[in-house]
Structure 1
Amino acid sequence: MARPLQADAVTTLLRDALEDPDTAWSMGSFGAIAEFMRDPDEGVVALRDSRLGMATRRGAVALTPTSQLRPVAYETAVASGWNHAVALCLPLDACAMSGRKVVTELGPDTEAARAEDRNGILFDLGLGLLAIDACVRASDPEVVACLRDGVGKPLFEFGNPIGARLVAMSPHRVFLSRIGRVEVYAAIPPTGGTSPEGPHTHVLPKLLRAGRTHAATTPIPEGFVPCGALHPAHPYKDALGQRIPFDRSRHDAFQVLLTTWGDPDLLAIKRAAEAGADDPGDGQLRSRFVQAARRVAAVQSRYLRGEAFVEDEAAAEDDDEDRGHA
Structure 2
Amino acid sequence: MMESEMTSAMSSCPFALLAAMVSDSGCEVSLGAYGAIGQFAREPRVFVEATDDHIVAATESSSISLRHRDGLRAIAFEMLSSDPQGWNCAVAICLPETDARMSARNCLTMLNRDPGAIFAAHRGRETYDIGLGTEFADIRVRSRSESLTAIEHRNTDRDLLADLMEDADCVWIFDTALGRIETRDRRRRHFIPQLLASGDGHSRTAPIPDGYAVLGYAFPPNPRHGETEDALGWHLSFQNVLDRFGMPELVGLKRRVELAIDAGTTVPALNELLAHAGPPTRAEVDCIRVALRQRRWLGGGEQSQQWEEVFDRPLRKSRGSIVPTEMELA
The bucket for the TM-score relative to the shorter chain is 0.7 to 0.9
Distance 1:274 1:8, change over 3 A: closer
Tell me if the contact between 2:93 and 2:217 (Cα under 8 Å) persists in the aligned partners. Answer: yes
Distance 1:109 1:150, change over 3 A: farther
Rounded to whole Å, the distance in 1 between the matches of 2:110 and 2:50 is 25
Q: Residues 1-326 of structure 1 correspond to what in structure 2 (within 5 A)?
A: 9-40=13-44, 42-44=45-47, 46=49, 51-80=54-83, 81-140=86-145, 142-149=146-153, 153=156, 157-158=157-158, 160=160, 163-164=162-163, 166-186=165-185, 188=186, 195=187, 200-237=188-225, 247-276=231-260, 278-284=272-278, 286-305=280-299, 310=321
Give 1:3's aligned residue: none
Aligned-residue offset at 1:206: 1.7
Distance 1:150 1:100, change over 3 A: farther
- Give the aligned residue type for 1:63: L
Tell me the secondary structure at the aligned position of residue 252 of structure 1: helix
Tell me if the contact between 1:134 and 1:173 (Cα under 8 Å) persists in the aligned partners. Answer: yes
Distance 1:103 1:294, change over 3 A: same
Tell me if the contact between 1:274 and 1:297 (Cα under 8 Å) persists in the aligned partners. Answer: yes
Q: Note the alpha carbon deviations across 1:81-123, whole angstroms, 9 max, x for none.
A: 1111111111122211111111111122222112332233211
- Give the aligned residue type for 1:282: H
Q: Note the alpha carbon deviations across 1:30-60, whole angstroms, 9 max, x for none.
A: 21111102524x4215379973121233211
Tell me the secondary structure at the aligned position of residue 198 of structure 2: coil
Gaps of 5+ in 1: 1-5, 189-194, 239-243, 312-326
Rounded to whole Å, the distance in 2 between the matches of 1:48 and 1:11 is 11
Distance 1:47 1:104, change over 3 A: farther
Tell me the secondary structure at the aligned position of residue 270 of structure 1: helix
Structure scoring higher RCO (CA < 8 A, sep ≥ 6) equals 1
Rounded to whole Å, the distance in 1 between the matches of 2:149 and 2:51 is 30
Distance 1:104 1:257, change over 3 A: same
Rounded to whole Å, the distance in 2 between the matches of 1:225 and 1:267 is 21
Aligned-residue offset at 1:210: 0.4
Aligned-residue offset at 1:284: 4.8
Greater fraction of residues in helix: 2
Rounded to whole Å, the distance in 1 between the matches of 2:138 and 2:106 is 10
Tell me if the contact between 1:23 and 1:232 (Cα under 8 Å) persists in the aligned partners. Answer: yes
Tell me the secondary structure at the aligned position of residue 199 of structure 2: coil
- Give the aligned residue type for 2:223: P
Tell me the secondary structure at the aligned position of residue 35 of structure 1: strand
Tell me the secondary structure at the aligned position of residue 175 of structure 1: strand
Identical columns (%): 29
Gaps of 5+ in 2: 1-9, 266-271, 302-318, 323-330
Aligned-residue offset at 1:26: 0.7
Q: Note the alpha carbon deviations across 1:297-325, whole angstroms, 9 max, x for none.
A: 010111111798737xxxxxxxxxxxxxx
Aligned-residue offset at 1:66: 0.6
* TM-score, normalising length: structure 1: 0.78
Rounded to whole Å, the distance in 1 between the matches of 2:37 and 2:54 is 21
Rounded to whole Å, the distance in 2 between the matches of 1:179 and 1:261 is 18
- Give the aligned residue type for 1:209: A
Root mean square deviation, CA, Å: 2.7
Shift >4 Å, 4+ stretches: 47-50, 306-309
Larger radius of gyration: 2
